[in-house]
Amino acid sequence: MNETQKTQPRGWLSARGMLPALANACIKLAPQHMLRNPVMGVVWLGTVLTAVATLAGQSPSGFGWTVTGILLATVLFGNFAEAVAESRGRGQAASLRRARQGLSARRLDAADDARTVPAAELRPGDRVVVEAGEMIPADGEVIEGLASVNEAAVTGESAPVLREAGTDRSGVIGGTTVLSDRIVVQVTAEPGHSFLDRMIALVEGASRQKTPNEIALGILLAVMTATFLIVVATLPFIGRSVGVEINLVLLIALLVCLIPTTIGGLLPAIGIAGMNRALQANVLASSGKAVEVAGDVDVLLLDKTGTITHGDRQATAFHAAPGGSLERLRQAAVLASLADPTPEGKSIVALARQQGLEMEAPAGAGFIGFSAQLRMSGVDLPDGKIIRKGALDAVAGHVRQTGGTVPPGLDDMVATVARKGATPLVVSESGQVLGVIELADIVKHGIKERFARMRAMGIRTVMITGDNRLTAASIAAEAGVDDYIAEARPEDKLARIRAEQEAGHLVAMVGDGTNDAPALAQADVGLAMNAGTQAAKEAGNMVDLDNDPAKLLSVVEIGKQQLITRGALTTFSLANDVSKYFAILPALFSAAIPQMAVLNIMQLSSPASAVLSALIFNALIIPALIPLALRGVRFRPASAIRLLRGNMLLYGVGGVILPFIAIKAIDAVLAIFFQF
């Protein structure tokens, strides 16, 4: 999606897209398409039968052709709803196709010599070199170098992003542009199965699979349609027993009014619109099922860093151990951080410089990078000094292994820092604990309110962090999460997800690294970051193009909105049928059975007018509800019982009352202009 498309008004259909949608609605009249939808398939067959019956003289031509025209309009309106939903993704699909057209690649051979080949010839495992100003020819992983990449062709965001080999932000997408430096990319996708190919298929609806709820509702509508078909088929026999002859056109009109045509016509559009809403939020879902499952999630697992907090922890203070030297602590912390590429390491050096300490790493120093298993980092100096900084238990264990002792007041010092919501990093030098570095991490603005919304929907939030328990508890309390996992390792995420699922919960989580892949695959909804590794993106069933871990909260709301929209419109459609029953049946039988006149509460002018009025309303209500189907019912956080009660009141009672008013109004207009 480009910038122009992203800022366009999100109306339900632009004037420019009207004609293509109408043309597509006519194309969908083909039998092979119509018979996929049992409800609209019956209306389509009814249209054909009324035309044949009118030609055969079984009904007055004026009335017969009018009914045929209204039934055809009903079918077209149902097709139009689906066509409109599909059309909303075609502009984005065209933009994505342009992003991959004419791509070539400089493929490296075994001797690292580059040869230009068409991008379509690339296969998984091939290595390509991309420099500033060139487009990345295929999906892959950066295996050498780092570069600034413009992903506006995919995400619509003009701000460049950094992609670097050996990090959790090494994944690149074919069709995006390198702005600076040089990278070597290892291809991971087969031709025709790239990220852009998947996205194009999804935005056009070509790969949309029906969700379990949609399939269940489709079966219910098919059963209801079959039931009403049997009921209507028996009416001629019942009518003859009381001296009433009902022709075929009237029977078909009655059937169409009784079956749930409104939801039958809108159901495909609702499913496609759910995918579109996810795409508008810059989330690429593997299928509509993934979006809908998000609406049923009741447990959210979220990383603390970058999701709940801003993630850019900054050193704010040095605290020397009891009896220790603040200057020695400061020097050791700087030496352990000079080669540390993380924001925390850089902030430690910056804080020391603000306090007047300038140092350079001595030649021959060996930097020890942070790992999830060791949970500490540091440096081995040429003079034999071993400096480490990290979590309390990790550094304390290291000190004891080297024959040192942990000062008795260290636990209290760490607890004091942690109670403030900061992260304490313990520093040691050659078996002696020197003190604590205080790292402050800020909870994102508004995150507590968002968790409150989740809680109102019956969703439990669980924060995952590698911090110690005191820090985790402080951040959890400030952010308003329901539970937390402290000092977490990658396998702890997977274990928690499985435990929640065994307890009957649906779990969602977010991740971006290769070590997150097992948990993303295990979760019912796995949201991977677009900047993350290919393993993470393949393991999850959703990809966030904006790389915003907090997007998971929005995904849940999108899923719930889709479920609520389908339920509300189904309720409205079924309630409509009650009113149409009172409009048509009394008009058909009251002449022969005077006792049925008591049911003719609408007092419609004639049986023919009653049938036509009900059919016209039945046809017009579908296009009238297209904007609601595409936009979705407004979602408010509430319990399932409260939402059900609200929908029954608004769409159930409203669905009964509206047809009475509308059909009576249509009948009054018909009585003025026509004589039946």
Determine the Cα–Cα distance for residues 57 and 236; give it in Å rounded to an integer.
18
Query: Is-contact 448 420, C-beta < 8 A?
Result: no
Beta strands of 243-333 (E only): which ranges? 283-285, 299-303, 314-320
Determine the Cα–Cα distance for residues 192 and 100; give it in Å rounded to an integer.
11
CA terminus-to-terminus distance, the chain: 54
Determine the Cα–Cα distance for residues 514 and 48; give it in Å rounded to an integer.
57
Query: Is-contact 472 465, C-beta < 8 A?
Result: yes
Q: Please give the single-letter amino acid code of residue 672.
A: I
Query: Is-contact 305 573, C-beta < 8 A?
Result: no
Helix (H) or strand (E) holding 340: none
Determine the Cα–Cα distance for residues 392 and 287; give it in Å rounded to an integer.
44
Facing residues of 319 across strands? Answer: 436
Determine the Cα–Cα distance for residues 635 and 295; give it in Å rounded to an integer.
11
Buried b (16+ CB within 10 A) or exposed e, 277-301: bbbbbbbbbbbbbbbbbbbbbbbbb
Q: Which residues contact 196 (CB under 8 A, 6 or more apart)?
A: 96, 99, 100, 154, 173, 174, 175
Cα separation values, 177 from 106, 130, 131, 170, 185, Å? 14, 9, 9, 15, 13
Catalytic residue among 197, 303, 524, 544: 303
Buried b (16+ CB within 10 A) or exposed e, 550-568: bbbbbbbbbbbbbbbbbbb
Determine the Cα–Cα distance for residues 97 and 442; give it in Å rounded to an integer.
41
Any known ligand binding at 512?
yes
Q: Is 412 a known active-site residue?
A: no
Sign of CA dihedral 46, 265, 202, 150: positive
Buried b (16+ CB within 10 A) or exposed e, 100-122: beebbbbbbeeeeeeeeeebeeb
Query: Is-contact 305 343, C-beta < 8 A?
Result: no
Any known ligand binding at 516?
yes
Any known ligand binding at 340?
yes
Max CA pair span of the chain = 112
Lateral strand order in the sheet of 114-118? 114-118, 104-108, 127-131, 182-187, 140-144, 171-172
Lateral strand order in the sheet of 366-368? 314-320, 432-440, 423-429, 386-390, 376-380, 366-368
Determine the Cα–Cα distance for residues 39 and 577; give it in Å rounded to an integer.
14
Query: Is-contact 154 199, C-beta < 8 A?
Result: yes
Determine the Cα–Cα distance for residues 476 and 483; give it in Å rounded to an integer.
7
Any known ligand binding at 580?
no
Q: Show binding-site residues for Mg(2+).
A: 512, 516
The residues annotated with a catalytic role in the active site are 303
- Binding site residue list: 340, 344, 389, 512, 516
Q: Provide the annotated binding site for ATP.
A: 340, 344, 389
